[in-house]
Amino acid sequence: MTRKRDVPPESLVSDLRRLEEIVRRLEAEEVDLDQALALFEEGVARLRSARDRLSEAETQVARVLENADGTLRVVELDE
């Protein structure tokens, strides 16, 4: 039985803070299996969201960088 948990769009910082909170709860608290699975699912969704945001930012940086003289140049970032 797999449930998909929708996570509202939030900032990268919000995603990272919530991920830290989820990890703390899973490590420190006695949570039942259903709660642990729900936290895990939310954590995976937030991790994907954060990864997507970082990937988008990397793409934007790779597209356009400004030279010192104000001209624009394309720079491919190494992966």
Q: Please give the residue that has the higher pLDDT: either 19 or 62.
A: 19
pTM score, two decimals? Answer: 0.66
Of all residues in the chain, the percent with pLDDT exceeding 70 is 71
Whether residue 21 has pLDDT greater than 70: yes
For residue 79, the model assigns a pLDDT of 47
Confidence band for 10, pLDDT divided at 50, 70 and 90: low
For residue 51, the model assigns a pLDDT of 94
Greatest Cα pair distance, the chain, in angstroms, is 60
- Rounded CA-CA distance 43/76 in Å is 31
- Rounded CA-CA distance 58/42 in Å is 24
Residue type, 71: T
